[in-house]
Amino acid sequence: MDQATPQTGRPGADLRLRDLLDGIAAGVPVRAPGADLARLPLGREALAAHGTAQDSAPWRDTESGGLALAGADLARARLEEADLTGANLRRASLSGINGRSTRFAGAILEEADLTEADLSGADFTGVVAGQVRLSEAMLEDARFTDAAMRFADLSRALLDGASFRNADLWGANFTGADADDTVFRGARLDEARLADANLTHADFEGASLAKASLAGSRLRGATFTGAKLDGADFSGADLSDANLVRLNLATCRLRHARFSGAWLNGTRMQVDQLGGAVGEEVDGAFEAAQASYLALEQNWKSIGSHDAASWAYKRGRRMGRFHAGALARAALAARDGRGVVRHGYRWCADRFVEWLCDYGESLSRIARAFFVLIGVFAVLYGLTSGMIILEGAEAGPTHNPMDLLSYSALNMMTANPPEIGLKPTGRVTNLLVGIQGAVGIILMGLFGFVLGNRLRR
């Protein structure tokens, strides 16, 4: 060879490196599946330091300035801690390689196959890797800062702790990936597929996720501060404890998403985006659903959407009742009498309040209860035969429905028994009159309270 071969200080490594470079220099396609290239200095700087980076060096790629390995077959090779910075690995086969802590910074990996490779801690900073295949690869703590990886396939990859800061991941496929604590700050993920991925505590601050699909993904504790989410699909996603403060989700799909404990202050969204219920309710997790509706209620209050806040409040109260019912059934199955009484009472009380006034949100339900109770007490007065006409030809006990309804209606609306020619007699009838008067006062007060709240809104 005309060009000097870099020395590694290890005879075996020198021989492996010489064989590789000789093959490239001879123009023979590199076919070395299973080769041992661990810790070899094959990067631009290492080659330049030994006088092998001149334009005339036969193993130098004119496009990338690094090692010319386009189309090479290095499947299942040992490449841990090797230096491949600036290498041209376009359409190379690197499936199943052991590339732990390997340096690929500035390399060309377009359409390269790295499926099922172990690349934990590898450095992919600034790589050009459009349509690279990394499905089922192990990429924990790998660095992809400023990488250009449009339409890359990272499906089912292990990405815990990986960093994609400012990377271009337009249309990339992360379906089913496990990506706890992964960093996507400033990344471009427009139209990316992140469905059914585990993105717990992922950092999307300042990222662009326009029209991205995150349906069914676990995003618990994720951060979306300043992210662009126009048209993103969060259907069925778990956004519990996620930071969604002051985002515009009005164009996102949120059907059955989970929001338990999420930070939602000032977040733009609408009730109809949820598909009628949050994901926790659909799954029967009523306690978590109550927390989810509470987060939504507080958010809608913060943006002045009172009707939406009212809807979330009522759904949250209903989830509390459902949870109480579930606890009561569990206590019954365990033969826990105290638990049955405690949770059963809560269920009954909440159910009554819902029927009476829809948890303080419905004027029509209060009016309905008012008229129903007028009829109920009129029937009770008739059963006790305690209403007497004082004067006239009809003097004596009356069972005339109009008489009984008139007295019942007036008694519900006045503090004192009405004077309309009818007089209650007997202990039972007088007790009913007192009870009805008290109930009427309570309902009138409740009606005024709810009306006042509605007017203030």
Average pLDDT over residues 216-225: 97
Q: In what order do the strands lie in the sheet with 422-424?
A: 396-397, 387-389, 422-424
The C-alpha atoms of residue 148 and residue 424 are separated, in whole angstroms, by 88
pLDDT interval class at 455 (50, 70, 90)? confident
186 pLDDT higher than 90: yes
Q: Please report the pLDDT score of residue 264 as a whole number.
A: 94
What is the number of residues in the chain?
Answer: 457
Q: Please report the pLDDT score of residue 11 as a whole number.
A: 46
The C-alpha atoms of residue 39 and residue 102 are separated, in whole angstroms, by 8
* 452 part of a folded domain: yes
- Give the predicted TM-score (pTM) of the model: 0.82
210 Rama class: left (phi>0) / alpha (psi -120 to 50) / beta: beta
* 419 part of a folded domain: yes
* 421 part of a folded domain: yes
* 229 part of a folded domain: no
pLDDT interval class at 361 (50, 70, 90)? confident
Q: Count, in order, helices (H) and strands (E) of the chain.
A: 9, 3
The C-alpha atoms of residue 446 and residue 452 are separated, in whole angstroms, by 10
Q: Which of 341, 353, 342 is nearest to 313 (CA)?
A: 353
**Mean of the per-residue pLDDT values of the chain:** 89
Residue 127 · residue 143 · CB < 8 Å? no
CA distances from 30 to 20, 21, 133, 329 (A): 8, 9, 20, 69
Residue type, 236: G
* 436 part of a folded domain: yes
Q: Please report the pLDDT score of residue 203 as a whole number.
A: 98
Average pLDDT over residues 145-171: 98
pLDDT interval class at 2 (50, 70, 90)? very low
* 370 part of a folded domain: yes
**Least confident among 236-250, 276-290, 420-434:** 420-434
Q: What is the pLDDT of residues 96-151, one digit of tens each?
A: 999 999 999 999 999 999 999 999 999 999 999 999 999 999 999 999 999 999 99
Q: How many other CB atoms are found less than 10 A from the CB of residue 395?
A: 11
* 99 part of a folded domain: no
Strand 422-424 and strand 396-397: the pairing is unpaired
pLDDT interval class at 18 (50, 70, 90)? low
Q: Please report the pLDDT score of residue 132 as a whole number.
A: 98
Number of domains in the chain: 1
For the ranges 45-49, 280-284, 365-369, 382-386, the one whose mean pLDDT is highest: 280-284
Q: How many other CB atoms are found less than 10 A from the CB of residue 20?
A: 22
pLDDT interval class at 15 (50, 70, 90)? low
Q: Please report the pLDDT score of residue 3 as a whole number.
A: 47
CATH number for 380 = 1.10.287
* Full domain range(s) for residue 415: 363-456
271 pLDDT higher than 80: yes
Tokens 């989970």 identify what position? 258
Residue 161 · residue 143 · CB < 8 Å? no
Q: What is the DSSP letter of 77?
A: -
Residue type, 170: W
Q: How many other CB atoms are found less than 10 A from the CB of residue 190?
A: 21
* 431 part of a folded domain: yes
Residue 97 · residue 77 · CB < 8 Å? yes
218 pLDDT higher than 80: yes
Q: At 121, list the tokens.
A: 């801690």
* SS3 state of residue 354: helix
Q: Which of 315, 367, 322, 324 is nearest to 345 (CA)?
A: 324
Q: Please report the pLDDT score of residue 279 as a whole number.
A: 97
- Residue 344, burial from CB neighbour count under 10 angstroms (0-12, 13-18, 19+): middle
